[in-house]
Chain A
Amino acid sequence: MALRRSLLWPLTALLAVQLAGCAPEGGSGGVQSQKLATITGRGKLICGVDGKLPGFSFVGSDGQYSGLDVDVCKAVAAALFGDPGKVEYRDLNSSERFAALASGEVDLLSRNTTMTLSRDAAGGNGLSFAPTTFYDGQGVMTPANSGVKTLKDLAGKPICVESGTTTELNLADRMRELGVPYTPLKFQTGDQTYAAYLGGRCVAVTSDRSQLAAKRTSFPSPDQHILLPDVMSKEPLTPATVNADPAWADAVRWTVYGLMQAEELGITKANVAAKLAEAKANKNLADLRRFLGVEGDFGKQLGLPSDFVVRAVTAVGNYGEIFDRNVGPGSKLKLDRGVNRQWKDGGLIYSPPFR
């Protein structure tokens, strides 16, 4: 009997928690998110990353994770706790990432995951995607002195490609569309492909742009190779949470949007404190005051502290700074912003208004 009771209690408690989680939310502006409660109770965010991807997530010599994906985790942790260090990273491979998210083993998946319909749909993987943090896509690299400026210049020239990949198919499709004849040189492995390219057997090599940039850093003279501006496929790499907890998904979504909006407003890691002081002093800067949480209840609506944007930007800087530091000019990858520019500069980075 005693045994049965000892078993029963935790079960009842578990049931109660489940029911509380399912209870309809009141419209009082407060937020009931089981996930948020779990995370704040735990005192740290568990973030699923790749861990082995140059520029996106890797462990530096000092034992610290860094990269663009990692900075998203840090920003969310900073928004929640005011401390970007309160993250536990889980290295996930591509086959277990969704299971880890669905089982609740990680709170947030920031692991260069392409947003697609089947991954988003409730009948598919049932993920909830935050804003895209990196628009990747298949690109073409060529020696700077080859005179090739666009895909059309590659007419009749050999292009190195890994065989049996979507990369190979994309290249064929795109070149057929453009009506540009070319000679594909196919190789079994990535290493062979790049060796052939460096050996001068082809004038161009194609793969995902972030991959090309990473490979380029290991070339003998990286500056002598350029990425063409053409992008042949859509790979929007996007952080994700589970569908089941919209409040948590919103918190992540608007933290990421906050990083983008901060760049648009010219708020950087260096000047965020000054901007905050300015907003506090001047009552007329209503937009800025709301964005930085001086007035209004945006944070409360999301279940976050009111100054969550300030915390995130203080920790990792705005979106542009994150990009530059990890994959852009400030890194060895030296990718240009391309479509990852702000919408005002003709890119796709666009934060909806904070109001």
Chain B
Amino acid sequence: MTTVLRRLRSELFPTRGDGLLSIALLSLLALAGVGFLRWAFFQAQWLVIRANATLFAVGRYPAEQQWRLWLLVGLLAAATGLSWGVLRSHPRRDRTGRLWPRNDRVAVAVLVLAGLWGPWALGLPLHLQARWWGLLALLLLIRWLAGRHGRRLGPRGLRLVALIWPVLYLSGMVLISGGLGLVAVPPSEWGGLLLTLVEASFAILLCFPLGVLLALGRRSDLPLLRWGSVVYIEFIRGAPLITLLFLGQNILGFLLPGGLAPDRVWRAAWVLTFFAAAYLAEAVRAGLAAVPRGQFEAARSLGLSYPQALGKVVLPQAMRVALPAMVGQFISLLQDTTLLSLIGLMELLGTARTVMANPAFLGKNAEVYLTLAVLFWCCCAALGLGSRALERRLDPQTIPSAS
């Protein structure tokens, strides 16, 4: 404690002038903080968020079909618990073998607090609050079970556990949109956080392979492939996303009349995908350029085929280099989904704008935008945390810990 104090003192008050500056800045910060808190607790009217919580979460998704989304969240919670527990039960070289390292305890505390406080603060009816508690309990229970017994799985089991995510994604899409015996819910009725996440995850998942292919294409020796990739990347990078979105919404309707064009939601998702792929290709290309040519040549001379050398030697190294840039791209892609509100889709920002147009909640802009900012921050922070964990995991320099 004293070291902290001493450090603070040496950093904030080394000379008289610095001390005065520090005091001035700190009091300014404190004033702003107090002003904000006073607004948040006494002036702000959070009814606009409470009354429209469902709208913000899922938009106009029909109420009688919302059980499908609850089921999806339940599956997500279970899968998260499972993966989390299994990962901890298999200590890697950068991990202590403890089942509940400090990070995890912090995460659990945050989850419990958010799971209890969030539904209460939103003023949800008790049975819905209880549903969130149940989901939280499910996550933690499976995390605990998987952590205890995950070791029995072995390497093949570990791979199977990883496989539940793509399966879950596909079945989640079916749950959301319907089909296979479920009532179809057209994309025009999706909205809020649901639509934002669907659009962002769709674009992120598809732009990745597309971006890698484009990057490889740009470095290819075949002129047609190389120039095709260059033209594509430079064309997309030369146009603002919003113009491409408008193009997708307006032109496709003329080219494919009579309801043949895909739904507006999917059109926007594809435009986002094609847009992000061009930027991602450049990040991957930077990664590829960072891998010494000798690596490829050595792999080839060892008898690996071209795809093998690329897939097993060059790309893994390139990905590691490109990862921070790629995650940056994903985060900005997530935020770019707000542009969809300009083409009339009801994603988070679009929902916010229609809520603010409700005569019952006119003028409550600050509350709505603040909520939006917090939601986006949470999503982006999750992406950032995930990427840093992945970076650590992929880093060959990670010192094996003594456990």
User: Interface residues, chain A, CB within 8 Å of chain B?
Assistant: 38, 42, 51-55, 57-61, 63-64, 88-93, 95-96, 99-100, 102-105, 214-215, 217-219, 331-333
Contact = CB atoms under 8 A, between A and B. Distances in A.
Contacts of B258: 38, 104
B217 interface: no
Contact of A59 (B55, B253, B261, B264): B55
Would you call the interface of chain B mostly helix, strand, loop, or mixed?
helix
A286 B353 CA distance: 49
Given A93-B342, A96-B246, A332 B360 contact: yes
B359 A331 contact: yes
Interface stretch (B23-31, B324-332, B343-351): B343-351
A58 B52 CA distance: 13
Contact of B54 (A63, A218, A333): A63
B358 A54 contact: yes
What band does the interface of chain B fall in when counting residues whose beta carbon is under 8 Å from A?
35 or more
Given A63-B63, A99-B254, 11 more contacts: A51-B353, A58-B359, A59-B60, A59-B355, A61-B360, A90-B264, A96-B344, A99-B253, A104-B257, A331-B359, A333-B359
B355 A91 contact: no
A60 B362 contact: no
Given A58-B358, A60-B358, A91-B350, A96 B55 contact: no
A91 B253 contact: no
Contacts of A88: 186, 188
Given A59-B55, A63-B63, A99-B253, A51 B359 contact: no
B357 A54 contact: yes
A63 to B, nearest CB: 4
Interface of B: 51-52, 54-55, 59-61, 63, 186, 188, 246, 249-250, 253-254, 257-259, 261, 264, 342-346, 350-351, 353-360, 362-364
18 contacts: A51-B350, A52-B353, A52-B354, A54-B362, A58-B354, A61-B355, A61-B358, A61-B360, A63-B61, A63-B63, A89-B188, A90-B264, A96-B246, A96-B344, A103-B254, A217-B362, A332-B359, A332-B362
Residue among B60, B61, B261, B362 facing the most chain A CB atoms (10 A cut-off)? B362
Contact of A214 (B51, B52, B253, B359): B359
A230 B299 CA distance: 82
A38 B350 CA distance: 29
A313 B169 CA distance: 46
Nearest to B186: A88
B188 A55 contact: no
Contact of A63 (B55, B188, B264): B55
A251 to B, nearest CB: 20
B249 A96 contact: yes
B359 A63 contact: no
A53 B357 contact: yes
A53 B345 CA distance: 15
B359 A217 contact: yes
Contact of B344 (A54, A92, A104, A215): A92
Given A63-B60, A103-B250, A91 B344 contact: yes
Contacts of B59: 63
A305 to B, nearest CB: 24
A43 B343 CA distance: 25
